[in-house]
Amino acid sequence: MKNTFDSDERSAIEVKELFGITDETLKIIRDLKSLMMGNMDWILDKWYEWLKQKQEYDEFFSNETILKRVHASQHKFWDIFFSGNIDEEYLAARRGLGETHARIGLPLDVYFAGVDRFLSLFIDILDKEEYAIEEYKETRRALNKMVHLDMTIIVQSYENLVNEGIAAKSKSLLEMSTPVTQIWNGILLLPVVGIIDSKRAQDIMNSTLSKISESQAKSFIMDISGVAVVDTAVANHLVKITKATRLMGCESTISGVSPAIAQTIVDLGIDVDEVNTTGNMRTALLEAFEKLGLEIREIQAEIQ
């Protein structure tokens, strides 16, 4: 599900317009560069004093090599920030930072708290300067706009990467839950366990039709002995799946139809005249082999 704001789909011009960042805003930010970067060592020292009090410090920043690299990256980050030049390269760098935070698993609440701390330190610097009231307000407003823009882009990028990972895992789980298997040349089998909803039914249909196209199967068996509940929606899904396979030249059989499920389907008035069903998978397999002109024989070895 997409968020309303997605920085990946907006140009630098659109982003600036959305956040109300004008040329005057950027000029104010540029005018702050000398002041803020001149105090950056002090700012970073204070920031790390604050961070060392948090439990996340030991988890993410205690390694001396990592700490030096992060320290240098932060210095560069704010140098670019106070350059006051928002273009496509600027947005790409912020998106990249969000993805980095997602990959290392940095909690968003820690990131928010860290940015808030930086903003407080910037304001401490401003408060020591002699500003007219209106100039001070405009400077604070410009600083807030830029910080909020950065936070939004970074968090959006963070969430996009996390959501992509969740979607990939969900897809893998769905594929595992709909394992259409070729058990013989021309015969496919899908054991279904659990609950069938509209989303899963569509996944089953997609997986089945794809496998039929790939294998040119003539028989498809869907065993529902592991499905506890069959209501009108589930029954209609099953019928649609079998009809879709038939359009591809593959006859379907629904096996594992228990007396309770059979009674439910009848009571619901579902039209299943065109659906072949069996009480168990063994019968369905025998029918499938018979359609292919094959015969299963039981061979009993002689005991000498």
pLDDT for residue 172: 54
Determine the pLDDT at residue 173. Answer: 52
Give the rounded percent of residues in the chain with a pLDDT score beyond 70.
88
Q: In whole angstroms, give the CA distance from residue 196 to residue 32.
A: 60
| Between residues 300 and 293, the one the model is more confident about | 293
A 10 A CB-CB count for 179 gives: 12
Residue 82 has pLDDT above 90, yes or no: yes
Q: Which of 58-62, 236-240, 246-250, 260-264 shows the lowest per-residue confidence on average (mean pLDDT)? A: 58-62
The mean pLDDT of the chain is 85
For residue 257, pLDDT beyond 80: yes
CA 252 remoteness from chain centre: 34
Rounded CA gap, 122 and 86, in Å? 20
**Once rounded to an integer, what is the mean pLDDT over residues 118-134?**
93
Residue 269 is given by DSSP the state T
| Residue 1, helix vs strand vs coil | coil
The CB-based long-range contact list for 261-266 (8 Å cut-off, 24+ gap) reads: 261/224, 261/227, 261/230, 264/230, 264/231, 264/235, 265/230, 265/235
Distance separating alpha carbons of residues 207 and 218, to the nearest angstrom: 16
Q: Which domains does the chain have, with CATH numbers?
A: 7-173 (1.10.490.10), 181-291 (3.30.750.24)
DSSP of 38-83, one letter per residue?
HTHHHHHHHHHHHHTTSTHHHHHT-SHHHHHHHHHHHHHHHHHHTT
Q: What is the pLDDT of residue 151?
A: 92
> How large is the average pLDDT for residues 31-39?
96
Query: Per-residue pLDDT averaged across 247-266, rounded?
Result: 86
User: Given the DSSP bridges, would you call strands 181-184 and 187-193 parallel, antiparallel or unpaired?
Assistant: antiparallel
Q: Mean pLDDT, to the nearest integer, of 222-232?
A: 82
Mean pLDDT of 119-147: 94
Among 141, 111, 2, smallest CA distance to 47 is for 111
pLDDT of 125 strictly over 90: yes
pLDDT of residue 303: 46
Q: Give residue 198's pLDDT.
A: 78
- Give the confidence band of 304 by pLDDT, cuts at 50, 70, 90: very low
Rounded CA gap, 7 and 91, in Å? 8
Q: What is the pLDDT of residue 164?
A: 80
Bridge-based pairing state of the strands 187-193 and 251-255? unpaired
Q: Can you tell me the distance from the alpha carbon of 298 to that of 99, in angstroms, rounded to the nearest whole number?
A: 60
- Tell me the per-residue pLDDT of 143-163, one tens digit each, with 9 for 90 and over: 999 999 999 999 998 888 888
Q: What global pTM score does this model have?
A: 0.57
Residue 175: pLDDT over 90: no
Q: What is the pLDDT of residue 2?
A: 42
Q: For 104-133, what is the mean pLDDT?
A: 91
Task: Determine the pLDDT at residue 1.
Answer: 39
Mean pLDDT within 208-237:
87
